[in-house]
Chain A
């Protein structure tokens, strides 16, 4: 399969994709790095000057920064917990011999295809609205004071919405993994008299470990970048109670026009994402051969 001619052609065929991605990755990143050392505000472009580590220091000492890091972690971990645990159970439920499995599957995966702004708006207005939402109707039915979700529990509300969006992804992947479980092995264990819970912990869970890892890692990548859901519901507030790192940087760049500060935040986000990425690449890379 490898003559000089085909190898030469192959190089030519690979080149556009590689060059495009290389430029796409390197050029903006270098620009971000450069800007992060500048005093550069779009409202005052004439005053641009070298800032050294100032932007990083500023970011680091800003109480909103620490809170945004905390919120980012709570958001990611909260969603991961709900989706992995929920996804495992739902996957096992769908894997049972039920009637209408195809339709159940379709219903369960649907939220994944709802674009983030729509998902957020549906939850904000249809479900969680303090006077017209379904949850308020339910509360009134039981004679309880409806909860003003986004004012009282802003981060929790966003976690719920995002978890709803990602639950299908976790379920689908865990279901795929579950369905590749060797049924003969399970039957053998059943014949040996292993009770259901030990079959789960000793056979099912280890088999799904890989899929669970993949779910956690891939979701983390996406969850670190949650943006539209916050924009549409709480706009980061009240105060900075539901501001994550992505949103904080967006605010610095687009609302405060602080290019230097936003760039420094961007570099911090890259570092954060890379810590996760390293693990993900290992997990995926092992599967290449």
Chain B
């Protein structure tokens, strides 16, 4: 039975929903608009129509050495996620298809590591990084971000793998596939959608991580989150340029995020809400 909705009610709901949506989106929208203004325009008061100049983008890229943190962000987020997948795919395979009595406990325990507040281990991690020379290096931060997101990666993969019938893997085993063949030719291709959404969500989480990246980098390995945080006082970077830098920092991940809406729910609730 289709719900009979009057046209007027529908128009009313639509207007209300759009109003709320635009209000929520407004800070982002206004930042985008400001980034397209000149500095004088930017502080000249409220105005939704910019002069569409790309001057701020050019300045940010040339003066503030924008590409280095950008590349760091890409390397850290993609690198840590791929690393996590390499460790997590076999683990999730084992837990989904060869469960033992303790599998559930192990999963819960993994989840619990995610609950440890970062600040609780700030002191030792900071000291370890200082003493081992990992401070402000991409490799150190990549490993750290991998560890932080590993539980989510294992969990997401586990929930996806569990939807694959075990008989298909057994069929592969009967067909003469080794474990490597089984994971490479059968499990992974079948789980591609799940792996892709895991990848996507974790790139987003790693990209936006802003505690460890700020604590453990200064310049060389600083990704965008740490780079942007250093503009906490607007001296040296005025409104339009700050907006341009912000837009460049969030644009790639915003687009990725739009594609991963569905997986977001599943990933962040550890499968508790689908």
Residues of A within 8 A of B (CB): 1-2, 6-7, 9-11, 13-14, 16-18, 20-21, 24-25, 27-29, 31-32, 35, 90, 93-94, 96-101, 103-127, 132, 134, 137-138, 141, 164, 167-169, 172-173, 176-177, 180, 183, 187, 210-211, 214, 218, 221, 224-225, 227-228, 231-233, 235, 245-246, 249-250, 253-254, 259, 262-263, 265-267, 269-270, 272-274, 276-277, 280-281, 283-285, 287-288
- Measured CB to CB, the nearest residue on chain A to B225 is A115
Please determine whether B229 and A176 come into contact, CB atoms closer than 8 angstroms.
Answer: no
Please determine whether B232 and A235 come into contact, CB atoms closer than 8 angstroms.
Answer: yes
Tell me the bound Cα distance from A276 to B122 in angstroms: 20
Tell me the bound Cα distance from A224 to B114 in angstroms: 13
- Measured CB to CB, the nearest residue on chain B to A283 is B272
Q: Is the interface of A mostly helix, strand, loop or mixed?
A: helix
Nearest chain B CB to A230 CB, angstrom units:
10
Count of B interface residues, CB-CB < 8 Å: 100
Contacts of B27 in A (CB 8 A): 111, 119, 122-123, 126-127, 164
12 new A-B pairs (CB below 8 Å) besides A13-B90, A280-B115? Answer: A10-B100, A29-B120, A31-B123, A109-B258, A111-B24, A115-B228, A122-B246, A132-B42, A266-B117, A266-B122, A269-B120, A277-B115
- Measured CB to CB, the nearest residue on chain B to A261 is B123
Residues of B within 8 A of A (CB): 1, 3, 5, 10, 13-14, 16-18, 20-22, 24-25, 27-28, 30-31, 34, 42-43, 45-46, 87-88, 90-91, 93-95, 97-98, 100, 104, 106-108, 110-128, 147, 150-151, 154, 166, 169-170, 179, 204, 207-208, 210-211, 214-215, 224-226, 228-229, 231-232, 234, 239, 242-243, 246, 249-250, 253-254, 256-258, 261, 264-265, 268-274
- Measured CB to CB, the nearest residue on chain A to B93 is A13
A126-B31 in contact given A14-B95, A32-B120 (Cβ < 8 Å): yes
Tell me the bound Cα distance from A105 to B18 in angstroms: 10
Please determine whether B122 and A20 come into contact, CB atoms closer than 8 angstroms.
Answer: no
Tell me the bound Cα distance from A285 to B104 in angstroms: 8
Nearest chain A CB to B37 CB, angstrom units:
11
Contacts of B228 in A (CB 8 A): 115, 117-118, 121
A–B pairs, 21, beta carbons within 8 Å: A9-B98, A10-B93, A10-B95, A18-B106, A28-B125, A29-B121, A96-B13, A98-B10, A104-B18, A104-B21, A109-B261, A118-B249, A122-B30, A214-B273, A232-B232, A253-B122, A253-B126, A259-B127, A262-B123, A273-B115, A276-B115
Please determine whether A284 and B111 come into contact, CB atoms closer than 8 angstroms.
Answer: yes
A115-B253 in contact given A104-B21, A277-B112 (Cβ < 8 Å): yes
Please determine whether A117 and B210 come into contact, CB atoms closer than 8 angstroms.
Answer: yes
Q: Is the interface of B mostly helix, strand, loop or mixed?
A: helix
- Measured CB to CB, the nearest residue on chain A to B208 is A115
Nearest chain A CB to B212 CB, angstrom units:
10
- Measured CB to CB, the nearest residue on chain B to A90 is B20
Contacts of A173 in B (CB 8 A): 265, 268-269, 273
Tell me the bound Cα distance from A90 to B20 in angstroms: 8
- Measured CB to CB, the nearest residue on chain B to A285 is B108
Partner of A1, one of B123, B170, B231, B254: B170
Please determine whether A32 and B91 come into contact, CB atoms closer than 8 angstroms.
Answer: no
